[in-house]
A = this chain, B = another copy of it.
Amino acid sequence: MNFKRFTTDELAQKIEQGDIVGLSKGITLIESLLQTDRAQAEQLLNTLLPKTGNSVRIGITGVPGVGKSTFIEAFGEYLIKKHHKKVAVLAIDPSSQQTKGSILGDKTRMEKLSANPNAFIRPSASGTTLGGVANKTRESLLLCEAAGYDVTIIETVGVGQSETMVKGMTDFFLLLMLPGAGDELQGIKRGIVEMADMLAINKADGDNKTKAELAKGAYKNALHLLPPHNYGWIPKINTCSATEGLGIDAIWDTINDYYATVGKSNIGTIRKSQNADWLNDTLQSRLLEDFLQHPRVVSLMPQLKEEVRLGHIIPSTATQQLIKLVLVTSASS
């Protein structure tokens, strides 16, 4: 962290005032792996929790090359200029597990938007597991809400597991598509299309316009075959051009329609159930993490692992031995 450390109360106050440096520091605290930082981050989050929940939470995905950054930049600027919103952009990048640093959500990709005082852009957290990264992104989203951002966008790459995570922390899930790519799903898994509340065919400009309209028709038919979403929402499909600023307003209108259709109380219900799932995810990843760092496990693991590797004992036996050492016995509870 930095030379100058804030107390939790100071940090909470700064974030509530919408101070960008405070918000950045708060997120850095959330992303820290130090035990002491983790405790402070928790305290900070619980302090700010009553101030959260007031943003429009939007998940955005699409295959590489679909123009996610350009779209988010155009969309963010539109929201700030036309609707006087404050916009925060976070990212979940599956590759940040390996690279330990992230490209996705990098500020340099959205130069104009990141220079805007009403926008806050934060690259993806890195971590040992995708679940851990997702947990930090959820917590960061809460900080952004406490800092007064009206719209929070969570961005991810359309290639797999991370979409389910983004869906699980947002209200509205937007899938960006390319016009007229012959293979209709463009490497996007069927399950991701099913999750989407809206499909937007980007790059619908110049020579692509006709192609985009054709694709729109084809997808419209396909969407009718999917089961309807909860609370009566029927997924919508539109074309847009982020570079020319076309169709951006219609997307925002659709998002507002969605909130009106589903209703505030149902959004609340969805978020509560997302919270319960979030607890399960956190439990699963944190438990294993703490277990593997436990001194007794650290000291016994290498030997047991080797015995399992050589086929001298079965994994269940090794596991039972480790668990017995580390879990408080039922009798003592």
Write out the residue numbers on chain B whose beta carbons fall within 8 Å of the beta carbon of A312.
49
Write out the residue numbers on chain B whose beta carbons fall within 8 Å of the beta carbon of A281.
315
Q: In chain B, what residue has the closest Cβ to A285? A: B319
Assuming the contacts A308-B275, A308-B279, asked whether A46 and B313 have C-beta atoms less than 8 A apart, the reply is yes
Write out the residue numbers on chain B whose beta carbons fall within 8 Å of the beta carbon of A275.
308-311, 315
Could you jot down 16 A-B contacts, CB within 8 Å? A42-B314, A45-B316, A49-B313, A49-B314, A53-B311, A142-B314, A271-B311, A276-B305, A279-B308, A282-B315, A286-B316, A287-B287, A287-B288, A288-B288, A325-B328, A327-B327
Assuming the contacts A328-B325, A333-B296, asked whether A316 and B135 have C-beta atoms less than 8 A apart, the reply is yes
Write out the residue numbers on chain B whose beta carbons fall within 8 Å of the beta carbon of A333.
294-296
Q: In chain B, what residue has the closest Cβ to A310? A: B272
The dominant DSSP class at the A interface is helix
Instruction: State whether B287 touches A305 (Cβ < 8 A).
Output: no
Copies of this subunit: 2
Instruction: State whether A42 touches B294 (Cβ < 8 A).
Output: no
Q: Is A195 interfacial (CB-CB < 8 Å)?
A: no
Q: Is A128 interfacial (CB-CB < 8 Å)?
A: no
Q: In chain B, what residue has the closest Cβ to A272? A: B309
Write out the residue numbers on chain B whose beta carbons fall within 8 Å of the beta carbon of A276.
305, 308-309
Write out the residue numbers on chain B whose beta carbons fall within 8 Å of the beta carbon of A290.
323, 327
Q: Mark A297-333, 1 if CB is under 8 A from B, else 0.
A: 0000000110011111111111110110111101001
Instruction: State whether A318 touches B284 (Cβ < 8 A).
Output: no
Give the size range of A's interface with the partner.
35 or more
Write out the residue numbers on chain B whose beta carbons fall within 8 Å of the beta carbon of A308.
275-276, 278-279
- If A287-B288, A287-B291 are given as contacts, then 5 extra A-B residue pairs at C-beta distance below 8 Å, sorted by A number, are A49-B311, A272-B311, A275-B309, A283-B315, A286-B320
Assuming the contacts A42-B320, A287-B291, A294-B333, asked whether A279 and B139 have C-beta atoms less than 8 A apart, the reply is no
Query: CA A317 – CA B45 in complex, angstroms?
Result: 9
Q: Is A95 interfacial (CB-CB < 8 Å)?
A: no
Write out the residue numbers on chain B whose beta carbons fall within 8 Å of the beta carbon of A326.
327-328
Q: Is A97 interfacial (CB-CB < 8 Å)?
A: no
Q: Is A52 interfacial (CB-CB < 8 Å)?
A: yes
Q: In chain B, what residue has the closest Cβ to A290? A: B323
Instruction: State whether A135 touches B287 (Cβ < 8 A).
Output: no
Query: CA A296 – CA B333 in complex, angstroms?
Result: 6
Write out the residue numbers on chain B whose beta carbons fall within 8 Å of the beta carbon of A135.
315-316
Write out the residue numbers on chain B whose beta carbons fall within 8 Å of the beta carbon of A322.
283
Rounded to whole Å, the gap between the CB of A311 and the closest CB of chain B is: 6
Assuming the contacts A319-B282, A319-B283, A323-B287, asked whether A295 and B330 have C-beta atoms less than 8 A apart, the reply is yes
Write out the residue numbers on chain B whose beta carbons fall within 8 Å of the beta carbon of A311.
49, 52-53, 271-272, 275
Write out the residue numbers on chain B whose beta carbons fall within 8 Å of the beta carbon of A45.
314, 316-317
Query: CA A273 – CA B308 in complex, angstroms?
Result: 10
Rounded to whole Å, the gap between the CB of A312 and the closest CB of chain B is: 7
Query: CA A327 – CA B292 in complex, angstroms?
Result: 12
Rounded to whole Å, the gap between the CB of A331 and the closest CB of chain B is: 9
